Amino acid sequence: MKKCVSAFLALVMVFALVACGGGSTPAAETPAQPSTTSGSSAAPAAPAAADNGEGKVFNIYAWNEEFKGFFEKYYTVPEGVTVNWIIVPSKDGAYQNALDEALINQADAAADDKVDMFLAEADYILKYTNSEATQDVAPLGVTDFSNAYPYTVQAASDANGVVKGVSFQCCPAALIYRRSIAKDVLGTDDPVEVQALLNSWDKYEAVAAQAKAKGYYMTASEAADYRVFTNNATASWVDADNKLQFSPEVEMWMKQAESFAQNGYTVLSDIWADDCTNQMFKDGKTMCFFGPAWYFNFSMGNAQDAEKGCFGDWAICEGPAPYFWGGTWLLAATGSDNSSMLADVMNTFINNEDVCTKLVKDEAQFSNNQKVNNAAASDDAYASEFLGGQNPNTIFVELAKNIKFENQTIYDQLCNEKLQENYREYLKGSVDKDTALQNFYKAIHEAYPSIILPQ
Amino acid sequence: MKKKKSISYAKWGYLFILPFFLAYFVFTFVPQALTIYNSFFENYREGLTQVGPNFVGLRNYIQLFTPDANGSIDVLKYAGNTMILWVLGAVPQIVIALLLAIFFTSYRLRIRGQQFFKTVIYMPNLIMASAFSMLFFTLFSNVGPINQIIQAMGWSDVPIDFFAKTVTVRALISLMNFLMWFGNTTILLMAGIMGIDQSLFEAANLDGANAIQTFFKVTLPLLMPILVYTVITALIGGLQMFDVPQVLTGGAGTPNRTSTTLVMFLNNYLGSSKNYGMAGAISVIIFIITGVLSMFVYRSLTKKD
């Protein structure tokens, strides 16, 4: 018996040693690879063929399946190349953590394990564009940005204006309302008339009171219109001295959320939680949602549900202020061994008019190609059935002219998430306002020790 | 000459226990020493930039014990949360498990289908804690089935926000920990009781002791070594409580961080910032608390000997 036990323990030890040794194997292969890598980057950036010395595996990091769907539909992968998707949800910075880990180890990774391209959101894109982890896309062959919206190029550029990637979408965002509820509350569901009644925050709050009187909610989350304020912020979350600060716009939102909570104009919920998204069903009581094309296309599944949804009972208008929200940028990772495919993917999604047109027409996207979008704006063939026959591109083209990409920091995602999370506790009455803010500061300190907090 | 003839078997003994000590040294002792070492450094990541490691002495500890603007010391608050959550779950767990163990082992009751019940009460332990928490989160959410029942029955017009009240969140966490662990404890205690010589129970019976007297005078004293082991392992597990509250509250320990445990606090520092300095300091504090409490439990339960 004892012999068995000791034999077992010895076996465990051997396994442990083997397991430790395993990690070094891929690293040992690395030195053999750089020759392939440098060979490919010297090659001209023509549409890739598998035998041009490029890697056989194209690794893409993403936080959801949205782009994966478009990629698989509209991009023809060169023969012999396998596309490997690594998808990590973004909540609590989990996506960034996984990506950072991969990028930090990029130099030591085997050629087929290297990140080739990764997706990034506006909230933290600066962290990557301003680092060595991303590379200039001009030498790869991505040089024509004449049709892309300027803010998308600016967002993908580092401090010196070197462009590190492209966005496949432009994200002007609008107010999305339920037609039937608007008719009940405002007496009309015509986008132009509704817009006239909602074109300032004062009017918006007055309508909220009207909606409440009729038994409706104005929004399904106090943070539904958060981005309308913060993506127009006149100050960044962290100032030049690394001190945390609230921009006047964030303070305006806090004030509005307070009044909405006290008056019962809104459901108190995270925008991605079931409490909020269940309001999109037919029996939901909420009049307004906020978002760009990707929101009603990708995130309003409940409204499109065949049984419980209310397909076609929606419309959009500009709302109280123009703004953008989100957007997915494709960034070129330094050390990629698939340079020509990388360039090809990027060019396809901004300059291939055929693909961009399909994105607008079949996927309800607002593409990052002005020519395609402008054509779609005046063409009735682009009317959306989901929006009851309205052509969203007409409004988006106008809104896109006013998009600003300013005052961003690398800390934005968690600042936005943690503020909403902790402030909601105050709105629900669990804690007082001061405690909620203290808890917000604590969360920021845990995530970013170097930020100086207000006391 | 004589000396050479005697054979020492000791070396075989040492050889056989060597794998354990090697494994312990590599996987437990070295990481522990490194944790303590790391706790004296400033060592974190900001974005893609690594800050440190720079030696800062006791600064991490001082920072942990500095009161916040409201005058409360966070690490003590989270230690308190952890203890409350553990006691709420562990006390009923041990009482119920003890009761069940006695029922199952009683030669008078002779419960049928013991194997079946033992399997069933052990089942919840086989579910991953995170899956279990997700299930409870969905059940008790504002739009979940429990609230639908409450509203359908007319007990409340508005959904009860279970995750906005300290009492309900803590009750749910304790309930889940109880459900997950009472089966395991029952099996352990049953093994302990079955190890007691049956003739002692018969003797007590002959002397006219009733069930309660038998339990307090015979079963409990003889079960003490196993009970102490159970309580201490439950305590160590409880101090490391993480998965259930983390998943149930989405890592936020809502409301007002009253369900944030020590390990959740540690995890907050390991998330985006990879702050090994602060996380190390918290680990050391957890280590000290665990040591002190285990000693205390051991002493108080075994002092009669």
Ordered domains of chain A (ranges, CATH)? 40-170+327-375 (3.40.190.10), 172-324+398-447 (3.40.190.10)
Mutation site, B165, B273, B274, B275, interface A, largest A CB count within 10 A:
B273
Interface of B with A (CB under 8 A): 15-16, 19-20, 22-23, 26-27, 44-48, 51, 68-70, 74, 141-144, 161, 164-165, 250-252, 254-257, 268-269, 271-273, 275, 278
Interface of A with B in 53-92 (CB under 8 A): 91-92
Predicted pLDDT of residue B300: 80
Rounded to whole angstroms, the Cα distance separating B266 from B260 reads: 10
Mark yes or no for CB contact A428/B74 under 8 Å: no
Rounded CA-CA distance A84/A63 in Å is 14
- Where do the structural domains in chain B lie, given as residue ranges? 70-302
Report chain A (455 residues): mean pLDDT per 10 consecutive residues.
Answer: 56 49 35 34 40 77 89 86 89 84 86 88 87 87 85 87 89 92 90 91 92 92 91 88 91 92 90 89 91 86 86 90 89 86 87 86 86 86 87 89 84 89 91 90 89 84
Asked if CATH classification 1.20.120.340 holds for the domain at B70-302, the reply, yes or no, is no
Q: Do A410 and B47 touch (CB under 8 A)?
A: yes
pLDDT of residue B98: 92
Which amino acid is residue B150, in one-letter code? I
- Tokens representing A379? 């063409």
Closest residue in B to A267 (Cα) is: B142
Cβ count near B96 (within 10 Å) = 16
**Confidence (pLDDT) at B4:** 60
* Per-residue model confidence (pLDDT) at position B74: 86
Which of A425, A431, A446 is the closest to B268 by Cβ?
A446
Return d(Cα A280, Cα A217) in angstroms, integer.
Answer: 12
- Please state the length of chain A: 455
- Tell me the residues of chain A between 99 and 118 that have a Cβ less than 8 Å away from chain B: 100, 103-104
Distance from CA of A127 to the nearest CA of B (A): 6
User: Token digits for A218?
Assistant: 């104005």
Shortest Cα–Cα distance, A431 to chain B (Å): 6
Contact in structure between A388 and A179 (CB atoms under 8 Å): yes
Distances (CA, A) of B209 to A58, A387, B104, B213: 77, 81, 20, 6
CB contact under 8 Å between B141 and A13, yes or no, is: no
CA angle (A250 as vertex; A244, A251 as ends), nearest 5: 95
- In A394-413, the residues whose Cβ lies within 8 Å of chain B are 410
Residue A385 touches chain B, beta carbons under 8 Å: no
Asked if A425 and B16 come within 8 Å (Cβ–Cβ), the reply is no
pLDDT in tens, chain B (305 residues): 455 667 778 888 888 899 999 999 999 999 999 999 999 999 888 877 888 788 988 888 998 888 877 778 888 999 999 999 999 999 999 999 999 998 888 877 777 888 888 888 888 888 888 899 999 999 998 888 999 999 888 888 888 888 888 899 999 999 999 999 999 999 999 999 988 888 888 898 889 888 888 888 888 888 988 888 888 888 888 888 999 999 998 888 888 888 999 999 999 998 878 889 999 999 999 999 988 988 888 888 776 55
Q: How many CB pairs under 8 A join A and B?
A: 101
Residue B165 to chain A, least CA–CA distance (Å): 7
* Residue A442: closest CA among B289, B63, B47: B63
**Cβ count near A329 (within 10 Å):** 23
Q: Which residues contact A344 (CB under 8 A, 6 or more apart)?
A: A45, A47, A48, A78
HSE-CB for B203 with a 13 A CA cutoff: 8
Residue closest to A341 by CA, chosen among A61, A40, A42: A40
What is d(CA A298, CA A165) in angstroms, rounded to the nearest whole number? Answer: 23
Residue B83: which of B234, B224, B225 has the closest Cα?
A: B234
Q: Could you tell me the end-to-end alpha-carbon distance of chain B, in angstroms, rounded to an integer?
A: 47
| Count of beta carbons in the 10 Å neighbourhood of residue A130 | 18
Q: Which of B143, B248, B259, B265 to mutate to test the interface with A (most CBs of A within 10 A)?
A: B143
DSSP 3-state assignment of A27? Answer: helix
Asked whether the beta carbons of residue A10 and residue B46 sit closer than 8 angstroms, the reply is no
Interface predicted TM-score (ipTM) of this complex, two decimals? 0.85
Burial class (CB in 10 A: 0-12, 13-18, 19+), A330: buried
How many Å apart are CA B120 and CA B122, to the nearest integer? 5
Q: What CA–CA distance (Å, rounded) separates A229 from A247? A: 10
Which pLDDT tens digit goes with each residue over B128-155? 888 999 999 999 988 889 999 998 888 8
> How far is it, in rounded angstroms, from Cα B253 to Cα A72?
40
Looking at the partner chain, which of A10, A96, A430 has a beta carbon nearest the beta carbon of B19? A10
Burial of A418 from C-beta contacts in 10 A (0-12 / 13-18 / 19+): buried
Determine the residue of chain A that is closest to B42 in CA distance.
A449
Distance CA B300, CA B296 (A): 6
Task: Kindly give the pairing relationship between strand A314-317 and strand A172-178.
Answer: antiparallel
